[in-house]
Amino acid sequence: MNESTPLSFATLTPDCVLDALESVGLYSDGRLLALNSYENRVYQIGIEDGPPLVAKFYRPARWSDAAILEEHAFVAKLVEREIPVVPAMTLANGKTLHEFSGFRFAVFARHGGRAPELDDPATLEWLGRFIGRIHGVGAVQAFEHRPALNITTFGEEPRDYLLANNFIPPDLLDAYRSVIAQALDGVRRCFDRAGDVNILRLHGDCHCGNVLWTDAGPHFVDFDDSRMGPAIQDLWMLLSGERRDMVRQLSDLLAGYEDFADFDPRELHLIEALRTLRLIHYAAWLARRWDDPAFPVAFPWFNTQRYWQDRILELREQVALMDEAPLWTN
């Protein structure tokens, strides 16, 4: 993380955005559209002499420059292998990461598309093939500057932040402490059952919103959460519905995945554990960003009494699910 005092996105005005683009030789025709992003600020920008581009302004102090460049390099390697991803553009200054008025940003080609049809077996198999190819590249070397997805980073640290900063209502504090302790114990048991699984570079946030589909197939966007972790992390978020539905979906994904990468079935023990960690991490992510004015507007239900009651019930359900047999495929 950067050591300097972080800037506020409140100072990232439209003029600042356009001036930043001009600083790297891109001149806007004045069209500026804010896209749906909360962690960073992302804009579609009309360009005078070409198609619109997308500019991502990184949340100050979240990642170091080295961590951002490591993500860019990983995606560039995927492009070299003809995997359909959207890399940061190398501009006239020979760089993919730029700075203007204290804000770091990158520019991307604009790619359209729709959400994939996850109830279609052929679509799932197609996605599985490309995720397998991504993991084939991801396994070649490790990230040095980006954190891993594990019990500490996605479970214990978020828990500690929520408790230390008094987000849990006093009358729910004992219940929350109890259930999150049970949940993290359940996560540890799942990891123990899985054993020593391989850790590799992942997309990290591979839900259907980060896969754009066209008639030519998928392309994967937003590697901002890319990190080290088990392969199943990039597969389980594409599963939904009842258990029998998820078994079928996972079978379809793996039918494509295993064309390009080996899958260790022990990782099936981690699906509900990773889901539990994501739930804990997400609550702390909202809490850490609560001083950003965009968050109370976008998430008005956060930090209410009902919100924390629901989180307690949710974690209790996960405790039970983690003790069930894992999904198994034929």
Any catalytic annotation for residue 222?
Answer: yes
Phi, psi of 217 (to 5 degrees): 115, -165
* Averaged pLDDT in 10-residue chunks for the chain of 330 residues: 62 95 95 93 95 96 96 98 96 93 96 91 96 98 96 98 97 98 98 97 95 91 96 97 94 97 97 98 97 94 97 98 85
**Gap between the Cα atoms of 89 and 274, Å rounded:** 32
132-160, pLDDT tens digit by residue? Answer: 999 999 999 999 999 999 999 999 999 99
Sign of the alpha-carbon torsion through 288, 45, 226, 72: negative
Question: 41-47 and 50-57: which strand pairing?
Answer: antiparallel
Q: What pLDDT does 329 receive?
A: 62
What DSSP assignment string belongs to 114-165? B---TT-HHHHHHHHHHHHHHHHHHTSS--SSS-B-SHIIIIIHHHHHHHHT
Query: Coil, strand, or helix at residue 43?
Result: strand
Concerning whether 160 is annotated as a catalytic residue, the answer is no
| Residue 51, pLDDT score | 94
CA-based nearest residue to 51, from 21, 79, 36, 29: 29
Positive/negative CA dihedral, 41, 275, 130, 253: negative
Which residue of the set 29, 65, 185, 205 is catalytic? 205
Active-site entry in 222, 224, 234, 252: 222
